[in-house]
Structure 1
Amino acid sequence: MTAMTTAAPAAPAPAARVGPVATLRQTMTLAWRSLVQIKHNPWELLDLSIQPIMLLLLFTYVFGGAILGSTDGYLRFALPGLLVQNALFYTLSTAIGLNTDISKGVFDRLRSLPIARTAPLAGRVIADTAKQVWAFALLVGFGMLLGFRVGTSVLGLLGAMALLVVVALAMSWMSVLIGLRASSPEKVQMIAFSVMMPLTFTSSALVPDQTFPGWLETWSGLNPVTHLADAIRGLLIGGEVARPVLVSLLWSAGFVVVFAPLAVRAFRSRV
């Protein structure tokens, strides 16, 4: 009998570890990829631009007189709240975009490349943060055309934008988790709206919470959206700043501590 020797298959070589500098470079490249897609899909930018303006016009001229008796007074009150509402609702696009990319196999193709596994996730979040800055500038600019005036200073305006971006970035981890766990973009939208709608409309973002029933006013005082809206108002038109800013930052830290590890774990298990 002739002895036959079969060579054992070679074990796959371990993937090379990606350093922090390369990870940052890859993250920014993928963030730029998400932003460049606007050129091929301009409706995304139009949706980001037109919807906030429509809401500003609707709330100011339809509800303003009924709520505060003056459209000018309501514009001054509501614009900071609409900035908050728009920023939080736009975190849903992060969840929907991630879910769509994963469902279409984009992340599988990226995983086959020698890049950091977290780069696609971080790139998407950074790109959507840049879009948040655009939406903030657009809404404030259009509000000024309607008569809104910043009552503090340029530093107050920049501080409001920075705070809004920080809080939206922190809360986007919750949206990321929803986007990674949901089975389709439609379910992402349904679940996320079910969370964001009550948070926004049971706060002082769009109406004074003194008009709420007692139990709802108590909840509004705990609602992170209320504190963020009060902080943005203080930074833009004057009033208390330190306490609502501090509470908003504490809420942001809480969202990151709770949802970021869960989102990263869901991301690693799914891709």
Structure 2
Amino acid sequence: MSEPTDRFMAVVRPVEGFNFPYPDKALPEKSLNALVVHSWIQAKRLLITWMRDPSTTIQALVYPAFMLLMFRVVLGDSISAATGQSSIFGTVPLIILIGAMFGSIASAVGLKGEQASGLLSRFWTLPAHRASGLVGRMIAEAVRVLATSMVILAAGYALGFRFNQGPLAAVALLALPIVFGVGFAMMVTALATVSANLPLVEIVSISCTLLMFFNSGFVPVIAYPKWLQPIVAEQPMSVAIDAMKGLSLGGPVAEPVIKTLIWSFGMVAVFIVPAIKGFRRAAETA
């Protein structure tokens, strides 16, 4: 064998400890297998990025845990005395949803940063499934909401929160904020990609703040003015809080769960097309 050939074989010889696929084994870009594999890669990338970003960690974990403690210290006894039941069963679901929503805002800001830096454009030129970027982001959002929920539940348990309805109800309680969080994340992603000049943080933060103070987890619905009670009772956070309260403390479950699913899947149905178009536009024009 000639010397040039020996050099070539030395270059292409597999490195010990690595198992790189040969180019002829690449997944077809439009295949379902490619969508699954590439979406998980994108989700893993985002999760690692968020773990290393202090602002996302604060928004998703530290801020909600601090709010839970603040609500318990400042308002817990007053709400418990007025309603006859521990306020923790309302504030824990409330804080879980707040963590899910404000975490989505932080990740959407990161998405705009990826667009501005050209990272989305570089991903778009790779031989990857076109839907993997958006699907991977929703997977990462679901994992983030699950982590947030578990941290808040652990803090709530230390303050008196309990699963009085059994393990199956506890699993359902964990699943509800994930479904709600993915629907909310789809909406925020659509808003983040629809226009580079849209004041995303201001718009969504104001909306979240209004929902946070006008729901059934902050105080009971009967504490609001009569003309406002129907709005408060049917807003998305209230129905999700009522469902999670029923799954932990006890009470109506079926109706609030159905309403939560309607709100969540409704957000996905309304915003999935704008999110797809906006994500593609952001990747192609960055």
Asked if TM exceeds 0.5, the reply is: yes
1:18 aligns with 2:30: yes
Q: Which residue matches 2:56?
A: 44
Superimposed CA distance per residue, residues 191-228 of structure 1 (whole angstroms, 9 cap, x where no aligned partner) = 21122222232221211111111221121122121111
Q: 1:256 aligns with which of 268, 273, 285?
A: 268
Which piece of structure 1 moves more, 226-235 or 95-104? 95-104
Counterpart mapping for 1:121-132 below 5 A = 121-132=134-145
Q: Which residue matches 1:143?
A: 156
Q: TM-score, normalised by structure 2?
A: 0.82
Identify unmatched segments of 5+ residues in structure 2.
Answer: 1-27
C-alpha displacement at 1:39, in angstroms?
A: 5.3
Moved over 6 A (4+): none
C-alpha displacement at 1:28, in angstroms?
A: 0.3
Identify unmatched segments of 5+ residues in structure 1.
Answer: 1-15
1:117 aligns with 2:130: yes
Matching residue's letter, 1:215 = W
Contact 1:72 1:147 in 2 (8 A): no
Q: 2:199 aligns with which of 187, 201, 208?
A: 187
1:165 aligns with 2:178: yes
- Percent identical among aligned pairs is 27
C-alpha displacement at 1:182, in angstroms?
A: 4.1
C-alpha displacement at 1:138, in angstroms?
A: 0.8
Which piece of structure 1 moves more, 100-109 or 65-74? 65-74
Q: How many Å separate the matches in 1 of 2:266 and 2:66?
A: 32
1:177 and 1:129, CA in 2 relative to 1: closer, same or farther beyond 3 A?
same
Contact 2:92 2:156 in 1 (8 A): yes
Q: 1:33 aligns with which of 45, 48, 61?
A: 45
Count of residues in Structure 1 that have an aligned counterpart in Structure 2: 255
Q: How many Å separate the matches in 2 of 1:244 and 1:41?
A: 35
1:155 aligns with 2:168: yes
C-alpha displacement at 1:187, in angstroms?
A: 2.3
Q: How many Å separate the matches in 2 of 1:146 and 1:203?
A: 21
C-alpha displacement at 1:40, in angstroms?
A: 3.8
Give the RMSD, CA atoms, in angstroms. Answer: 2.1
The residue matched to 2:191 in structure 1 has which SS?
helix
1:98 and 1:43, CA in 2 relative to 1: closer, same or farther beyond 3 A?
closer
Matching residue's letter, 1:28 = W
Q: TM-score, normalised by structure 1?
A: 0.86
Which piece of structure 1 moves more, 201-210 or 227-236? 201-210
Q: 2:73 aligns with which of 32, 37, 61?
A: 61
Q: Which residue matches 2:120?
A: 107
The residue matched to 2:252 in structure 1 has which SS?
coil
Superimposed CA distance per residue, residues 7-28 of structure 1 (whole angstroms, 9 cap, x where no aligned partner) = xxxxxxxxx7421111210110
1:219 aligns with 2:228: no
C-alpha displacement at 1:150, in angstroms?
A: 1.5
1:211 and 1:174, CA in 2 relative to 1: closer, same or farther beyond 3 A?
same
Matching residue's letter, 2:46 = S
Q: How many Å separate the matches in 2 of 1:90 and 1:40?
A: 14
Q: How many Å separate the matches in 2 of 1:94 and 1:38?
A: 8
1:96 and 1:235, CA in 2 relative to 1: closer, same or farther beyond 3 A?
same
C-alpha displacement at 1:43, in angstroms?
A: 5.5
Which piece of structure 1 moves more, 16-25 or 54-63? 16-25
C-alpha displacement at 1:65, in angstroms?
A: 2.5
Matching residue's letter, 2:37 = R
Matching residue's letter, 1:258 = V
Counterpart mapping for 1:84-103 below 5 A = 84-103=97-116
The residue matched to 1:73 in structure 2 has which SS?
coil
Contact 1:94 1:124 in 2 (8 A): no
Contact 1:170 1:255 in 2 (8 A): yes
Superimposed CA distance per residue, residues 61-87 of structure 1 (whole angstroms, 9 cap, x where no aligned partner) = 012223333898222332122222222
Q: How many Å separate the matches in 2 of 1:78 and 1:135?
A: 14
